Amino acid sequence: MFYRLLGRTSSPADVDPPDDLLLHWKLHRWFACLDTDRDGRLTSEDYDLAAARLARAFNHRPGQREHRRLLARYRKLWALHDPGARGELDRDAFTEQLLAAGRDRARPFRTSLNRLCCALVDIADTDGDDQVSEREYRVLLSAAFGLTSERDLTAAYRMLDRDGSGTLEHNEIHAAVLEYFTSNSPDAPGNWLLGPPPAALLA
C-alpha cells in the first residue's frame, strides 16, 4: 500500500519502505505539479516556467521586476537541490536531493524557501492588504502548480489559515511552505499546501 501511495506499482524487494512516507509523498506531489510536460523529469526550465505563469496570472509582463524577482528565487531554490548543476532530476533524484538539502544545507535551504515565499506573497497580494485572500491564493496555486480542484483549494486554504482569521498572513504562508518541505508530522497544517494528503498518511 505504501508504495502505491507514493505512485509506485511495486516495492523493490531489497528496499524497506521509508519511515518518512508523508514527506516523500509531499515531495512527489511538488514534483508532479511542477513537471508540467509530464515527462518524469523536473528541469530548471520547469521552475522558470512557473515564474512565467505566475507573472502572467498576476498581469506582469515578462522581464518586469516582479517576474525577474520570482525567477531569481526559483533559480536559487533549484540550485540548492541540484548541487551538481545537472539541470534536470528524475523524481527519485529530486526527492533525494530535497531531503539532503533539508538535512545538510538546512539554513540556506530555509532561507531560500522564505525568500521564494516573500516573492510569492508579494505577487499574489494584488489588493496590497499584506494578506493573501482566498481569491488571491487560488490564482497563486493555479498558476504556480496547476491546481484547479475546488475541493482541494478550499480544504488547503482552511487548513493553512491557522488562526482562523479568514485570510492568510505572511507567517502562515511561510510556516506552511517550511512544513511542507521539512515536516513529517501528520498534524502539520503545511502538509496541506498543495491539497489534502492521503488519509492513510495522516493516521
> Applying CB under 5 A, which residues contact Ca ion?
125, 127, 129, 131, 133, 161, 163, 165, 169
Q: What's the closest the beta carbon of residue 157 comes to Ca ion, in angstroms?
A: 10
By beta-carbon proximity to Ca ion, the closer residue of 46 and 172 is 172
Q: In whole angstroms, what is the distance from residue 13 CA to residue 85 CA? A: 32
Is the Cβ of residue 21 or residue 54 nearer to Ca ion in the bound state? 54
Of 165 and 185, the one with the shorter C-beta distance to Ca ion is 165
Q: Distance from CA of residue 9 to its chain's centroid?
A: 24
Q: Least distance (Å) from Ca ion to the CB of residue 125?
A: 4
Among residues 34 and 117, whose Cβ is nearest to Ca ion? 117
Q: What is the 3-state secondary structure (H, E, C) of 26-80?
A: HHHHHHHHHCCCCCCEEEHHHHHHHHHHHHHHCCCCCCCHHHHHHHHHHHHHHHH
Q: CA 53, CA 48: separation in Å to the nearest integer? A: 9
Smallest gap, in angstroms, from Cβ of residue 138 to Ca ion?
12
Contact 31, 95 (CB under 8 A): yes
Residue whose C-beta lies closest to Ca ion: 165
CB of 190 to Ca ion, least distance (A): 13
